[in-house]
Amino acid sequence: MLLVTNDGRKAALDLRMIDPSMPDLPNSKINMAVENIYRIWLENKEDKLTQLVFCDLSTPKNDGSFNVYDDIKNKLIARGVPADEIEYIHNAKTNPQKLKLFEDMRNGTKRILIGSTSKMGAGMNVQDKLIALHHLDCPWRPSDIEQREGRILRQGNQNDEVEIYRYVTEGSFDAYSYQLIQTKATFINQIMSNSSGGGRTAEDLDRDTLTYAEVKALASGNPLILEKFKVENELKQLYLSKSRYDKSHIELEAKYNTELPRELKYKKKYLSGLEEDIKNVKDLSADNFVITIRDKIYDSRKDASTKFYESFSLLKPREETKLGEISGFDIVGTKDELWYKPVIYIKGAGKYKVEINNTDEIGNILKLENMLKSFDNKIGTVKDQIAYTEKQLIDVKEELDKPFTQQGRIKELQKEKARIDSELDLDKQENTRNIEETNEEEMER
């Protein structure tokens, strides 16, 4: 089947690759490309703009046999293009020869360079005067097309606009080749962007040969093969959409049934504690200041800060220790297990973390006072958060209630695919393959 595949690619490029005695068809992709290359060469003759021609098949062998490279060059010379302005990348065999060729392309001494993806891919910088790029055949990988077009679509090209041409032969193997590239590119993009619903498996899409049924369909010119591609592509997209819908539905259910209710419960409890605690906050401004540290009362912030700092030595990881009281609230703390720094809270009906410094600065006492003063603002903030969470619950419920709207279309396409497969005998082939595999398993037993 690989041999059939390779012959299909050759025939799509030029039938003379299969049989040199075949006629040179006037509307073949080679002749269309030659006309295009010549026109662009003529239009940009004064500016010495250059062109790249990519062809992975039918490279020159110098044995007198037919090849596309020589055919293109001879036809361009016959139209008036100087032979020394056309070059094959294969003629530059050493690094110095390649560097000289690349320089000639950059200054316009050479104006048409013909080569393969592997020899004219990454590392070839000839973009300065490039005005056009021609794909005569389709490579196996999407990255090959990116590498080809990366020669002209890059910084350093003096042309604001460039032309890229892809030549295909209608009703030929080109349709399969580009379909294969599209399938691979879609698969790669799904993996790279995680747009396939987070799945950990994927169908093996990297096959370079055809099934017998597909060969028969292509050879007969059956339009059903094109219809099959269209149906399968649409089905793939819908399956991906359904996968994303299912994944999103699971996430929304977890959010609606667990995450948001838990968050709402916590915030309401926090609000209840704040509303209770704010009633007990006392005025500690100026001479009203008073604080208890380790059972001793202080009315001096400076003295209190020193004693407060000394009390940090009593703190232990994973164990809450009471250090004192302020405005009727307990001052408690633990020691951070990782950084071994004090973690301080003011504790009433609720519990409020105070960001303090591991010093005896008076600022630590002020931070305790400021926490008490912030209760009013905290109440307003938490109420807003509760309202937002309740709105989220409503929005998530609306999303959960939305059905997958494309389920009907999937069923239609599945029926259409079954019909096409039946007409192409793909279903019979699949049944035969299953029977053969079953027989082989029975024989092994």
Q: Would the pLDDT of 208 be above 50?
A: no
Strand order across the 163-166 sheet: 86-88, 112-115, 50-54, 130-135, 163-166
For the chain, what are the domain ranges?
2-175, 281-373
The type of residue at 404 is: F
Residues 154-169 have pLDDT tens digits of: 889 999 999 999 888 8
- The rounded distance, in Å, linking the Cα atoms of 97 and 119 is 13
Q: Would the pLDDT of 136 be above 70?
A: yes
435 pLDDT band (50/70/90 cuts)? Answer: very low
- The rounded distance, in Å, linking the Cα atoms of 239 and 290 is 68
Residue 77: predicted pLDDT: 96
Residues 17-41 have pLDDT tens digits of: 999 899 999 999 999 999 999 999 9
CB 179 within 8 A of CB 229: yes
Residue 275: predicted pLDDT: 96
Chain centre distance of CA 40: 36
Tokens of 116: 């393969």
Homologous superfamily in CATH for domain 2-175 = P-loop containing nucleotide triphosphate hydrolases (3.40.50.300)
Mean residue pLDDT of the chain comes to: 86
301 pLDDT band (50/70/90 cuts)? Answer: very high
CB 105 within 8 A of CB 50: yes
Residues 378-428 have pLDDT tens digits of: 999 999 999 999 999 999 999 999 999 999 999 999 999 999 888 877 655
Range scoring the smallest mean pLDDT among 7-11, 194-198, 417-421: 194-198
pTM, two decimal places = 0.51
375 pLDDT band (50/70/90 cuts)? Answer: very high
- The rounded distance, in Å, linking the Cα atoms of 52 and 117 is 11
C-alpha distance across the termini of the chain, in Å? 30
Q: What is the DSSP letter of 217?
A: H
Task: Using CB atoms within 10 Å of the CB of residue 31, give its burial: 0 to 12 exposed, 13 to 18 middle, 19+ buried.
Answer: middle
Residues 312-339 have pLDDT tens digits of: 999 999 999 999 999 999 999 999 988 8
CB proximity list for 35: less than 8 A, separation 6 or greater: none
- The rounded distance, in Å, linking the Cα atoms of 57 and 115 is 10
CA proximity to 172, closest of 18, 37, 52, 20: 18
Residue 141: predicted pLDDT: 84
Between 422 and 226, whose confidence is greater? 422
CB proximity list for 345: less than 8 A, separation 6 or greater: 331, 332, 333, 351, 352, 353, 354
